[in-house]
Structure 1
Amino acid sequence: MLQRAKQPKPPFTLFQRPGGTIWSVRFSAGGKQIRKSLETDNYDEAHHRAYQIWSEANYRVKNGLTATVRPFHEVAEEFIKLVETESERGDRSEYQPRDWPPVIHRYLVGFFGDKPIDAIREPDIERYIEWRRTYWTTGPGKDILYIRYERGGKILRRSARHEVPSVSRQRGELVIVRALFQQALKWGYMGKIEIPDIKVRKRTDNRRPSFTPEEFALLITTSLERIHPAPSGRKILSRDGRVWLQHRQNQHVLSDRIKLHAYIEIGAGTGMRPTEMKNLNWGNIVGFRATRDAPVRDRDVRFQVQGKGKHGTLVPLPSVISWVHTLWDKFIDEVGREPNDDDPVFADREGKRIQSFKKGFAELLNACGLKQDYRGASRTTYSLRHYYISEMIASGADVYDVARNTRTSIAVIDKHYGQVDVERLKDKLKPEHTRF
């Protein structure tokens, strides 16, 4: 007589909540109890699904993973909390809890979303990298006009840039990607995957343009001519056909052009960044008040500058001092008093800080045909900083000293700033012992 084999006890328990008809499963795996709805009221189907869930959980535990699958967005939020906690106790840089969450939320969560983190493979990372490159051009961000962000407890916004991120930007964001997935590996949420690097294609020459000495001389000459036009005056043609010569300039225009010229001379004589010049107050020009009436040879001043997250003290060229005097006198003439230490050096007629010389500088560049350099790259006020650094190097100044005085590194100078014509270095490139 055949006997029915005794069925082994299932490694899980099926149950229904009081008053409900949907089956759920409960079991232990990896030292934790797992509860999960089976989303069916059919017992046989529930039994079948329970075996699948139990088997998958045990497979994950045996392979060093957590028993349950974690969606990417949950792991991302857990990682952000970890970054904030570690930053508070000094284990991470203070900028990471500020700069990393927006990248994680917008790009990583935007791409991976609810995908189980242990289901992400290297091809998925490759697809993410390409998706990120085109996010603002043809992807989800192409129709976004503004980016909102929080600073100092206030919600601000800035215009979105619809462009492909630079290689350095992409590599910087991959640091965040690697950190997140490495932490997920430590938590046992996934196996190890390799995060590919950004492949660098042949780079174009994207240095900001400078000026040659001849071009800078033309810039200065044109600027002075606009301040002091020819005695014959300027021909004015009215709409009704009348013609006359204008011998006297509008005083507001004249004042703006004088300040622009001073801005150019000071920028080219100090190497300050545009933001540093904008932030410059009279109290930052150390020694100017004390030596204002002294002979030129005794006017030894220093500039205390801050901007772009950097600060320091610089030594200006002597030619700068006379233009500082010009701005001092213009302030007194327009505002009716001497500047205080907290007044801006570059001030409008009401003594308020001038935010930018971009428009006036562009008009001057157009007037002397210097809007673009030989590569077709457009010049900006930043070109004055490049001119200062290039001229200092060409004149034989030590590049280390130049780097310290301009608050940058030798590597950055070599890569972006030192645009010195080889022809100007011909004597240095032909040592004495090689000459006939």
Structure 2
Amino acid sequence: MANHELMGGRLHVYKREESARFWQCATFLAGRNHRVSTKQESLAQAKDFAEDWYLTLKGKLIKGELRGNEKSFEFAAEQFYREFKVLTEGQRSKIYVEAHRTRLDNHILPFMGDKGLSEITPGLLQEYRIHRHEKAIARWGAPPARNTIHQEVVVIRQVLKSAVRHGWLRLMPDLSEPYKASGKISHRAWFSPDEYKQLYEATRERAKNPKKKRFKKESEQLHDFVLFMANTGLRPDEAWRLQYRDVKIAHDDGLDETILEIEVRGKRGIGYCKSMPGAVEPYRRLVRRNKPEPSDLIFPKRQKEIFNNVLNELNLKTDRDGQSRTAYSLRHTYICLRLMEGADIYQIAKNCRTSVEMIEKYYASHLVNTLDTTAINVRKQKPVKKAVALPEPEPNKVSSKRDARPGVRRAKAPTKKP
């Protein structure tokens, strides 16, 4: 192998084989070997290239920009995704796992993939937040949602935790968001009682008189979907997985009413739900209309287009805060209406397969009915003032010069002028 030493033996220009076309160059810096092809066939030109390349690496080393054996963020991200995909199988949906892959490929790796793990500092993460904000403004005219950035920071944190577990990173950097320790109290888009009545009356009218005859069945399905969702509190993905064999019409002894008992499969695995009585008749209509097999889906199609058309016609697509209403808003409506009726928040959480904290954060915070005036408008009873008996005045004593009290002169009686 032809080998030429430069820079006092610190730089080598060589060919692995005599028949090789281009010269290679190599050096040892920052605890690791660096190699690159000169892309030159002439030895003199290859030496010039190698010297320039070596001096560039030395400059990066002095500035602290040259990594040694440190792993890159991209390397750690690939290891994290490989572990995450395998270890969460059966616990996380494929959509959730793929969303992490999308966040990495579209936003995170293009910005910090080539950085060393020690270069992922709180300052760099703040630069990433600003970069995402400016990029979204330039492309869409609006900044990314707060939750969007939060989910991307979650992925970055999980990648760094994976690096700590493997010993590639010593300590986790502080990834908390400055200036916004706590966000505003917000609520999710829902239908107030008047808006919900307006919605189901519109879907009922469309089911009776569809704009086109071929849309009659779809309109009937949509009307029953609205009533079913608002009386069960299911998530849309849970409703779309629901089969007829998962639903049973039962009699509730506590309220002496007919309800639905539903075996739910969705985000939280397998759970159970007991509906409001208002869900029974829509379910019976679905059975009569579709004549299903036990394994058939109750809602095989998603009437998203018709649902949005109805919302737009009623001017209900967005709430007063600009939040878009979707099929998920029917679940939010169920929870809010139950809270307004005074239902126990713990039982609602169990029936909706969520936590009390989530309900308190997103639902109970904006409902006036959840405030108990008997506990708020408490008035402290003022104590009754007792009358104090005053001592009887002593009879006047005649004193020649001074009053009995020391230091007080007796007032002289006014004299009459002659």
TM-score band, normalised by shorter chain: 0.5 to 0.7
Task: Tell me what 1:169 maps to.
Answer: 148
3-state DSSP class of the match of 1:138?
A: helix
How far off is 1:270 after superposition? Answer: 0.9
Name which of 348, 354, 357 aligns with 2:301.
Answer: 354
Contact 2:265 2:271 (8 Å CA) reproduced? yes
Name which of 296, 309, 317 aligns with 1:343.
Answer: 296
Partners of 1:275 and 1:197 in 2: CA distance: 32
Name which of 180, 185, 209 aligns with 2:189.
Answer: 209
Matched, 1:389 2:348: no
Instruction: Map 1:358-369; keep pairs closer than 5 Å.
Output: 359-360=306-307, 362-363=309-310, 366-367=313-314
Contact 1:15 1:23 (8 Å CA) reproduced? yes
Partners of 1:193 and 1:426 in 2: CA distance: 44
How far off is 1:224 after superposition? Answer: 4.9
Partners of 2:294 and 2:125 in 1: CA distance: 53
3-state DSSP class of the match of 2:295?
A: coil
3-state DSSP class of the match of 1:270?
A: coil
- 1:29-88 deviation per Cα after TM superposition (whole angstroms, max 9, x unaligned): 74x66656688955996897698589789989xx9x964687x5xx51464046415764
Task: Tell me what 2:102 maps to.
Answer: 102
Q: 1:46 to 1:119 in 2, by over 3 A?
A: farther
How far off is 1:397 after superposition? Answer: 1.9
Q: 1:175 to 1:113 in 2, by over 3 A?
A: closer
After superposition, the CA RMSD in angstroms is 5.1
Task: Tell me what 1:305 maps to.
Answer: 264
Q: 1:384 to 1:113 in 2, by over 3 A?
A: closer
Query: For residue 340 of structure 1, what is the amino acid of its counterpart?
Result: E
Q: 1:69 to 1:372 in 2, by over 3 A?
A: closer
Query: For residue 80 of structure 1, what is the amino acid of its counterpart?
Result: E
How far off is 1:325 after superposition? Answer: 1.4
Task: Tell me what 1:398 maps to.
Answer: 344
Q: 1:22 to 1:68 in 2, by over 3 A?
A: farther
Q: What TM-score do the two structures reach when normalised by structure 1?
A: 0.62
Contact 2:67 2:116 (8 Å CA) reproduced? no
Q: 1:134 to 1:404 in 2, by over 3 A?
A: farther
Q: 1:45 to 1:284 in 2, by over 3 A?
A: same
Instruction: Map 1:47-62; keep pairs closer than 5 Å.
Output: none
3-state DSSP class of the match of 1:277?
A: helix
How far off is 1:251 after superposition? Answer: 6.4
Q: 1:50 to 1:415 in 2, by over 3 A?
A: closer
Instruction: Map 1:198-277; keep pairs closer than 5 Å.
Output: 198-199=177-178, 207-221=187-201, 224=204, 255-277=217-239
How far off is 1:286 after superposition? Answer: 2.9
How far off is 1:287 after superposition? Answer: 4.8
How far off is 1:403 after superposition? Answer: 0.9
Partners of 2:222 and 2:166 in 1: CA distance: 58
Q: 1:404 to 1:37 in 2, by over 3 A?
A: same
How far off is 1:183 after superposition? Answer: 6.4
Greater mean alpha carbon deviation, residues 404-413 or residues 185-194: 185-194
How far off is 1:277 after superposition? Answer: 2.4
Query: For residue 278 of structure 2, what is the amino acid of its counterpart?
Result: S
Task: Tell me what 1:80 maps to.
Answer: 78
Q: What TM-score do the two structures reach when normalised by structure 2?
A: 0.64
Partners of 2:333 and 2:132 in 1: CA distance: 36
Task: Tell me what 1:315 maps to.
Answer: 274
Aligned length: 362
Contact 1:268 1:384 (8 Å CA) reproduced? yes
How far off is 1:386 after superposition? Answer: 1.9
Q: 1:52 to 1:261 in 2, by over 3 A?
A: closer
Contact 1:26 1:36 (8 Å CA) reproduced? no
What are the ranges of 5 or more consecutive residues in structure 1 without an aligned counterpart?
Answer: 1-8, 143-161, 230-247, 332-337, 347-352
Q: 1:258 to 1:79 in 2, by over 3 A?
A: closer
- 1:146-181 deviation per Cα after TM superposition (whole angstroms, max 9, x unaligned): xxxxxxxxxxxxxxxx86432233122223334545
Q: 1:36 to 1:186 in 2, by over 3 A?
A: farther
Q: 1:325 to 1:191 in 2, by over 3 A?
A: closer
How far off is 1:364 after superposition? Answer: 6.3
How far off is 1:354 after superposition? Answer: 2.5
Q: 1:78 to 1:126 in 2, by over 3 A?
A: closer
Partners of 1:124 and 1:314 in 2: CA distance: 46
Partners of 1:430 and 1:23 in 2: CA distance: 81
Greater mean alpha carbon deviation, residues 266-275 or residues 79-88: 79-88
Partners of 1:402 and 1:297 in 2: CA distance: 19
Query: For residue 108 of structure 2, what is the amino acid of its counterpart?
Result: L
How far off is 1:128 after superposition? Answer: 2.7
Percent of aligned positions that are identical: 20
Contact 2:264 2:273 (8 Å CA) reproduced? yes
How far off is 1:321 after superposition? Answer: 1.4
Larger radius of gyration: 2
How far off is 1:408 after superposition? Answer: 1.7
Partners of 1:98 and 1:227 in 2: CA distance: 38
Partners of 2:50 and 2:179 in 1: CA distance: 53
What are the ranges of 5 or more consecutive residues in structure 2 without an aligned counterpart?
Answer: 1-6, 382-418
Contact 1:58 1:67 (8 Å CA) reproduced? no
Q: 1:313 to 1:428 in 2, by over 3 A?
A: farther
Query: For residue 289 of structure 2, what is the amino acid of its counterpart?
Result: K
Q: 1:166 to 1:339 in 2, by over 3 A?
A: same
Q: 1:77 to 1:405 in 2, by over 3 A?
A: same
